[in-house]
Amino acid sequence: MILIVDDTPENLISLKKVLEKYNFEVDTASSGEEALKKVLKNSYVLIILDVQMPGMDGFEVAEAISGYSKAKETAIIFLSAANTEFRFIAKGYSSGGLDYITKPVDMNILLLKVQTFYRIYEQNRKLNEMQKSLLEEIEFRKEAERKKDEFISIASHELKTPLTSVKGYVQLLERSVDKGDTITVKKHLGKAQVQLEKLNSLIADLLDISKIESGKLKFNKQEFCIDELIDNVIDVMHQSSPEFKIIKEGNTKCKVYGDEMRIEQVVINFLTNAIKYSPGTSEIKLSCNIKGDGLFLSVKDYGIGMSEDQLKNVFEKFYRVEETSQRFQGLGIGLYIASEIIKRHGGEIGVNSTYGQGSEFYFIIPLKFNQDFDEL
């Protein structure tokens, strides 16, 4: 848009008409003060500025404008009837003008200049925008790279912990076997088994991530009984964390169409997190009901919870709540995988949480076969 600043209404009107005839969008101001207000509010590509005006003159306006960040890329052309001497022209250029045209104005020449400056400034503006978005993109890459490095270091650490334990138990086993102490052998075997399970599930998660990245996460969908799945999962969780009571609410008595193992993986992820992030508590609620034509399942804990800010990102890859990441082990990928699984079932995943009071993770998936979300 072009801003014409002139205290003579006839000049404003005639110039506006000519420019509009050539499809320029034009705004006007009849004083320097009004021009400054408009420049603060709007973005102009070009300002055609009369030099002699009561109140602020054109030079003062140009100098004030040069301090506005908003008008950094705005071109200024001065128009002057009286001040045609070189020192005025020089002042015009030094106060930020691109050109200094003396009146009477040859409209054809002014138009040519306006068209040229407009084109140059428009191109310049576009180049700046492009540069800005390129810089942002580079930053975003850099950030992704940093996250990846951080992830590799956390993942190596997470994998090393159970591996070190297994090594320790195997050494102990050797000694107990030598002594012929079968009871201790069984105890150490059981502990090594738990650590191997951890290792197995960490590796499975890592493999899932790379399958998601390469679009190779496959689903084997068929009808299954969700109530049975929940009862089994509760049993398994009870064996590994007997201190927690998982209260099941609701009974759907219906079949769900989906990949049973993957849905089980999501429920286990919700429950494992509910236990992990709720130290000092001993109860978790698992609800399951039919909502419309979908299955709703939620896991509610009474643990550390999350603030509004923290829970915004929980389904993002590698995200872990910074404040608590030192206290709890994890890779920050479980919920990302869960959200991919639910999305690929045509469902929705979400969380409600209150900082210090607990969280409720849930998903809804359509009960019926849905061709759009069936695997190719």
Residue 35 or 311 with smaller CB distance to ligand ADP: 311
Residue 252 or 287 with smaller CB distance to ligand ADP: 287
Residue 5 or 321 with smaller CB distance to ligand ADP: 321
How far apart are CB 281 and ligand ADP at their closest, in Å? 11
Task: Pinpoint the alpha helices (H) of 22-106.
Answer: 32-41, 58-66, 86-94
Q: Which of 335, 342, 365, 367 binds ligand ADP (CB under 6 A)?
A: 335
Q: What is the 3-state secondary structure (H, E, C) of 118-178?
A: HHHHHHHHHHHHHHHHHHHHHHHHHHHHHHHHHHHHHHHHHHHHHHHHHHHHHHHHHHHHH
How far apart are CB 301 and ligand ADP at their closest, in Å? 5
Binding to ligand ADP in span 17-36, by CB under 6 A: none
Task: Pinpoint the alpha helices (H) of 180-280.
Answer: 182-213, 226-240, 260-276
Q: Where are the beta strands (DSSP E) in 245-376?
A: 245-249, 255-258, 283-291, 294-300, 348-354, 358-366
Residue 310 CA to residue 4 CA, distance in Å, equals: 50
Q: Which of 29, 173, 192, 333 binds ligand ADP (CB under 6 A)?
A: 333
**Token output for 128:** 């700046």
**Token output for 155:** 């993942």
Q: Count the residues of the shown chain that bind ligand ADP, applying the rule CB under 6 A.
A: 22
Binding to ligand ADP in span 303-332, by CB under 6 A: 303-306, 314, 319-321, 324, 330-332
Interacting span for ligand ADP (CB under 6 A) from 3-11, 40-48, 225-233, 301-309: 301-309
Binding to ligand ADP in span 224-283, by CB under 6 A: 269, 273-274, 277
Residue 74 or 273 with smaller CB distance to ligand ADP: 273
Residue 270 CA to residue 121 CA, distance in Å, equals: 55
Residue 330 CA to residue 158 CA, distance in Å, equals: 7
Binding site for ligand ADP (CB under 6 A): 269, 273-274, 277, 301, 303-306, 314, 319-321, 324, 330-336, 359
